[in-house]
Structure 1
């Protein structure tokens, strides 16, 4: 199948490379010439485990990139994977996606038939009200518009694409062309197995419902994290290890063990943006989403709790504090809504000298803190530090040992259960 993917960010690059790996001929379309050049040279423009290998393997063969939307008519199906960031009021900014939809519609003006699939996360009414009219402006019914929300986690996006727990196809009632195209596109995955060894379930529904599945999915997961963090904050007051509690309740199949790692909270692009969007949309419809508000409030309070724990052990004003981890989670260089950002800002407000380290995310964090002292290793960050804060649970931090001996005082506040306590260390877990 010939497939085009418009947008080469975290989602677009991953699905383009994975679709090429499944045997499709894929063209990635992006307005950034630098990204296009990188893909054509076999280099991934983002850090994502396994993605470098796929791009390198298929570039120049089943995967190529261009800035020209005129490549779309030569394909059978187009995915739109344009970012939809948050506005200041929490609503989503669809301007870039609308512009891409318009250019897609212009490029497809003379096709006999084509299927456009919206991968970008948008509210249920956006596809029909704002995107489809632009996409179908010239070709009308010769172009079908469908949705196929993505559920890939940064840090494991390649694995999640190739081993999905579900596929959601949103099409207009009676649009067999779009539904058939989605089935054909994903046919190589239909014999795959989920993590539980089951065949991959396919959810066939309408366009608005498919998009709401995405929002509900992320809202539920984010709320689960905030709930275990709230429980963890209470456990901390009693000196109870929240992870023991999580292990026990996770055995209940109504709860499950996933997303019960209490700590500093969630960040990234999806959870914050999607919760803000659905909360804003609910209020526009006259409903107050109290549970989702609470999930956000708990999450926003966790960095401050970490700083309060630090203040129990050290006078932060004038202290040298090492911050270990800048990415919002391990396995990615993405710092969007990273919990390290409010932690660093809070340290600076309290007069601390901050030295930070992350194995891959330093360059992206410079956009937020250009004058921060960035170390080239965890050992360098810890040297002569009065305290250390663990904000991302990179595997390499678990192996740290003698490096703590170089600290001025071995005070460690761990927001991710990311390091092993040792003799001589004053160790505090955020929720355990």
Structure 2
């Protein structure tokens, strides 16, 4: 099939590349000419494991091409996937300007029947708006009878595993309109996704509104599980329970399962934060109060500061003179996505309290530099207190404590003896519960995880020895005491 992908961002690139891999002829459009030049030169503007190699193979085979010419892109594909961004507006609602602009361009240039597929995450009712935009343009051109259908086909891609998710989906949701055009569109979409149904049928056909709602409902449910476990973790810590044991106890119930039950520093990324807000806004537009969604968002915002609270409890509010190694900047492993990443909140709060930060991430360093500079643009002195280090080992050099924010695999197995020797005051603040508490205790390292009260420790002898040789004022920083 001939397919146009409108928008060569995360969803568009993964969708277009994977459809080309299945033998389709795909043209990806983006209005950013620099991005198109980069893609045609074999460079990929985002990090996703395996994507660069897959793009190169299909580009070389002629099945995947890139353009910034709108008219060419509309003429090319019988199926037009709209995969542009829907960033949150000031009130939290989804900004549909790029989706509707794409729809108008389709109506402006189409000369043959099209199936127009909303791949972007959009609120209920967007399909009707897309239809109206295209119909208005056709009416202007004197072509009101030119046939087209609007389909909702939401994506369910996890950053870091997007190719696997696309090529081996657990479900494919296709929302179609009633009538003859909708039935034709359903048959075309079913044929497009036929390679995924050989073992069993994964396609769910429904109306457009239900398909649009399904995407938001899925992300809101996952965000709810994360915030729920984080709230339980904070409670477990004060009542003397271990949230990791609790997780195993409830996850073993097949009605609950283990997915998204890990306590941590809160969720981030491009999907959960904006989709929860957008669903809240949709509820408000229809006179509904979404109390659970509001709580999910509030818990998540607070959770991003939990590690900072532990640091302040250990050292006191004034962190001047202290340097922290921070491992993990992206909001999750296997991506360079810094959008709403907890590390941004943690870094900002540490440097605002006078601390220095030596940060490392295996992939997200360049994106992190941009994000942190944006967060601290009005505080140039604070920016100077953040250094981005070339390795996780160099990030430890000359630091007082280690803060682990993202659960990259390279952070999981550590030589705790070497860690202790690297840190001036052997303390680890673990935002992902990566390490065995008993091993850290045996190594003489103070350990602050999330929701595990039984292993919160007092200062080690090494900490006490260091404090004894520092100045009185510096000692106050470590103990949190005052004269």
Please state which band the TM-score falls in when normalised by the shorter chain: over 0.9
Q: Which runs of 4+ in 1 moved over 4 A?
A: none
> For residues 216-240 of structure 1, what are the alpha-carbon distances to aligned partners after superposition, in whole Å with 9 as ceiling and x for unaligned?
1111110011111111111111332
Taking only aligned residues, the RMSD between alpha carbons, in angstroms, comes to: 1.5
Match of 1:64, SS state, is: strand
Deviation at 1:404, TM superposition (A): 4.5
User: What's the TM-score once normalised by structure 2's chain length?
Assistant: 0.85
Deviating more after overlay: 324-333 vs 280-289: 280-289
Change (3 A) 1:226 1:98: same
User: What's the TM-score once normalised by structure 1's chain length?
Assistant: 0.94
Match of 1:323, SS state, is: strand
> For residues 307-365 of structure 1, what are the alpha-carbon distances to aligned partners after superposition, in whole Å with 9 as ceiling and x for unaligned?
11112222423311121111010000000010111111111221111121111111112
Q: Which residue of 2 aligns with 1:97?
A: 99
Indicate yes or no: 2:144 matched with 1:142: no
Q: Which residue of 2 aligns with 1:170?
A: 175
Match of 2:3, SS state, is: strand
Q: Which residue of 2 aligns with 1:78?
A: 80
Does the 8 Å contact 1:383/1:408 carry over to 2?
A: no
Deviating more after overlay: 212-221 vs 307-316: 307-316
Q: Which residues in structure 2 correspond to 1:38-77 (within 5 Å)?
A: 38-60=38-60, 61-69=62-70, 70-77=72-79
Q: Which residues in structure 2 correspond to 1:375-386 (within 5 Å)?
A: 375-386=389-400
> For residues 188-240 of structure 1, what are the alpha-carbon distances to aligned partners after superposition, in whole Å with 9 as ceiling and x for unaligned?
11125xxxxxx342211111110000011111110011111111111111332
Deviation at 1:297, TM superposition (A): 1.0
Indicate yes or no: 2:192 matched with 1:204: no
**Counterpart-to-counterpart distance in 2, 1:263 and 1:275:** 19
Q: Which residue of 2 aligns with 1:256?
A: 257
Q: Which residue of 2 aligns with 1:195?
A: none
Q: Which of 312, 334, 337 is equivalent to 2:337?
A: 334
Q: Which residue of 2 aligns with 1:106?
A: 108
Long gaps (5+) in structure 1: 193-198
**Counterpart-to-counterpart distance in 2, 1:200 and 1:428:** 47
Match of 2:304, SS state, is: helix
The count of aligned residue pairs is 423
Q: Which of 369, 384, 388 is equivalent to 2:402?
A: 388
Q: Which of 152, 157, 168 is equivalent to 1:152?
A: 157
Match of 2:370, SS state, is: coil
Deviation at 1:47, TM superposition (A): 0.3
Indicate yes or no: 2:417 matched with 1:416: no
**Counterpart-to-counterpart distance in 2, 1:184 and 1:62:** 18
**Counterpart-to-counterpart distance in 1, 2:59 and 2:405:** 35
Match of 1:368, SS state, is: helix
**Counterpart-to-counterpart distance in 2, 1:154 and 1:263:** 18
Indicate yes or no: 2:376 matched with 1:373: no
Does the 8 Å contact 2:27/2:76 carry over to 1?
A: no
Long gaps (5+) in structure 2: 374-382, 453-483
